[in-house]
Amino acid sequence: MMSTAKRNSNHQKKDSMKRIFTLLMLLLFTGSLALTAKPRKAAPVLQPRVEPTFWWAGMKNPHLQLMVHGQDIGQSRVVVNHPGIRLLSVTTVENPNYLFIDLDLAQAIPGKFDLLFQKEGKTLATTTYELKEREPGSALRQGFNSSDAMYLVMPDRFANGDPGNDAVEGMKENPDRTDLRGRQGGDIKGLRDHLDYIADMGFTAIWLNPLLENDMPATSYHGYATTDFYKVDPRYGSNEEYRAFAEEARGKGIKLIMDMIFNHCGLEHWWMKDMPMADWINQFPDYQITNHVKTLNQDPYASAYDKEQFTDGWFVSSMPDLNQRNPFMATYLIQNSIWWIEYVHLAGIRMDTYPYPDKEMMAAWNDRIREEYPDFNIVGEEWHMNQAILSYWQKGKSNLDGYRGNLRSLMDFPLQSAVSTALRDPGTGDLMKIYECLANDFQYPDPQNLVVFPDNHDMTRFFVQVNRNAELFKMGIGFFLTTRGIPQIYYGSEIMMNHTGTHDSEFRKPFPGGWPGDAINGFTGQGLSDSEKEVQQFTRKLLNWRKGKEVIHTGQTRHFLPWEGCYVFFRYNDQEKVMVVLNKNPRQTELNTGRLAEMMKGCTSAREVITGKEISSLTSLTLPPQSISIFELRK
């Protein structure tokens, strides 16, 4: 962090004399000397903003680039007096209020050092910069993987642990609990207060929607319009509280995944008032919005005109499009992500709007993260229904255009859609949609590393998607907790949260029980309906069962063409075999297992996981109407 600078007293005296002289001249000129003759305090010495705000010694890549912002800082000479730190270069840019300082930290040891900004031999400003010591094992942390189950939480909407921070003086938007588009007051304290609930449910990872400062005049609650990349929004808490939350979660076996956005920032970001250079963001003589056609990244026939509009057009008018082709911007974003990984000890990143930024920069970013943290995981949001479009980005994919995406994980939107329509649409034959979707796994280098989910913060809640049918809902949840991949459950799904409106704020209602005075409490079960309680218990049971099931984490998959309104798949490894049956029929069904012989040979009995029932004969299975059954098969 920046601290009060030690200053050279001689320089300070000279500065003060100069200032007084200037002031006298000014006052004489304006003829108002008599009014201000009393002694005045000297103006404070300029304190530039430096980002990253601090760094670490001992990173694998020894290069650090500091962005310095301050009045006329570009006219100063930079001096670094510290053994072990080599000043590689200082770059001035179009705007004289910026400097970019490149340092080589290969020999640096943890500690503080001064950055001096001098002009004509005088020190105009001094900033103390800190290189922290890395935590042991930091580089080799285990990222989230298919042994995890992720809980997606929108920080403003989960629990209000500190009503004192709902409104923060000086910030542009105040809370408004009468409007779902307004801020509700949820915060980090609320999340901390309910960590035990999350752990008890059986989740082993939390993905939080963005919680960096969004000092925007309206609809700032969703967090996707960053106005400071190095600061948690004070309405959620402080950087220190975020870090403490992560540490406490880790102690309970829960990994933390941070939501990041490289594509855009908020229009109220501080640098929008004084940008380093014209191409810091993508600008047009007339405002251009992106065409949102994601296939432009893969399309071999696409025009340069359309491609440019896609990557360089703005997402919305309140979110300027960052130019990742500008090397200073690219470095800024990459270092920012490393800073949060290291500072909060993250286990993963969820990257927003993955196909919109410059794709070469995104590949380089993935490489750089892997260089520092070989077992880290990153999941990208490519909201497309075509597996070919998704798999283009995944690490290990061989693309005709030669592009190497290097991204490890993607959000499995095609599977979300297939399961949702297969369950919702009236025919029993629709289960084929799930089957065919999974058949497309041949396109992915690593389908086990896809994140699978029934819904998220951007879509109608899953319960509404399946026509508010609790049985179909459970079939979907159960499917996502047993299919290949890393399951993600959206907060409130475990109690079947519902809505009638179609605006996206409706999908993001406050979790009941998170606010003082809530009549219904999802944490304790108070006021929940019987079927909501049953779904919560169902989800808790399956999540906790899944935790210890390596066969679900990493086992093989085999599935059979749906027949008689049922879809059957197996997860298996050398030790274990689990059979999952989705019965979409609205009546009890007797299923002859003859065609499953290749997988069931030698299996004589089973235990059904949800009911705990022992099954002694496997030749025919009795399946409840619209149900999921999960059988642990025994030899």
What is the binding site for Ca ion (CB under 5 A)?
160, 162, 165-166, 185, 187
Question: Dihedral through CA 587, CA 593, CA 594, CA 597, nearest 10?
Answer: 160
CB-nearer residue toward Ca ion: 168 or 364: 168
CB-nearer residue toward Ca ion: 168 or 615: 168
* Least Å from the CB of residue 221 to Ca ion: 11
**Tokens describing residue 368:** 């750089």
**Tokens describing residue 509:** 């209602």
CB-nearer residue toward Ca ion: 123 or 165: 165
Question: Is 399 within 8 Å of 383 (Cβ atoms)?
Answer: no
* Least Å from the CB of residue 165 to Ca ion: 5
* Least Å from the CB of residue 187 to Ca ion: 4
Nearest to 207, CA basis, from 271, 154, 251, 282: 154
- Distance CA(361)–CA(367), nearest Å, equals 10
State how beta strands 150-153 and 205-208 pair: parallel
* Least Å from the CB of residue 259 to Ca ion: 19
- Distance CA(57)–CA(265), nearest Å, equals 29
CB-nearer residue toward Ca ion: 181 or 370: 181
Residue corresponding to tokens 């209000």: 160
* Least Å from the CB of residue 89 to Ca ion: 44
> Residue 133 CB: number of other CB atoms within 10 A?
12
**Backbone φ and ψ of 80, nearest 5°:** -120, 115
The sheet carrying 98-104 orders its strands as 49-51, 63-69, 98-104, 86-92
Catalytic residue among 162, 268, 381, 412: 381
Name the amino acid, one letter, at 457: H
* Least Å from the CB of residue 160 to Ca ion: 4
* Least Å from the CB of residue 163 to Ca ion: 6
* Least Å from the CB of residue 159 to Ca ion: 9
**Tokens describing residue 345:** 């000890």
CB-nearer residue toward Ca ion: 515 or 560: 515
Active site residue 412: no
CB-nearer residue toward Ca ion: 165 or 387: 165
Q: What is the 3-state secondary structure (H, E, C) of 242-280?
A: HHHHHHHHHHCCCEEEEEECCCECCCCCHHHHCCCCHHH
- Distance CA(56)–CA(138), nearest Å, equals 11
* Least Å from the CB of residue 166 to Ca ion: 4
Nearest to 227, CA basis, from 235, 530, 201: 235
Q: Is 547 in a helix, a strand, or coil?
A: helix
- Distance CA(479)–CA(476), nearest Å, equals 5
> Residue 617 CB: number of other CB atoms within 10 A?
10
Q: Is 201 in a helix, a strand, or coil?
A: helix
Between vectors from CA 595 to CA 593 and to CA 600, what angle results, nearest 5°? 65
Express the helix, strand and coil content of the chain in percent, nearest 5 each: 30, 25, 45
* Least Å from the CB of residue 248 to Ca ion: 18
Continuous segment of H or E residues that includes residue 43: none
Q: Where are the beta strands (DSSP E) in 241-326?
A: 255-260
CB-nearer residue toward Ca ion: 48 or 185: 185
* Least Å from the CB of residue 193 to Ca ion: 11
CB-nearer residue toward Ca ion: 165 or 456: 165
Active site residue 425: no
Catalytic residue among 215, 228, 321, 352: 352
CB-nearer residue toward Ca ion: 184 or 331: 184
**Tokens describing residue 457:** 């913060």
State how beta strands 255-260 and 205-208 pair: parallel
Nearest to 411, CA basis, from 390, 430, 388: 390
141 secondary structure, DSSP code:
P
Nearest to 607, CA basis, from 634, 569, 570: 634
CB-nearer residue toward Ca ion: 207 or 236: 236
Name the amino acid, one letter, at 589: T
526's CB contacts (< 8 A; 6+ apart) are 513, 520
Cis peptide before 39 (omega within 30 of 0): no
CB-nearer residue toward Ca ion: 162 or 430: 162
Rg, the chain, Cα only:
28
- Distance CA(618)–CA(109), nearest Å, equals 65
Residues in a beta bridge with 487: 452
Catalytically active residues are 352, 381
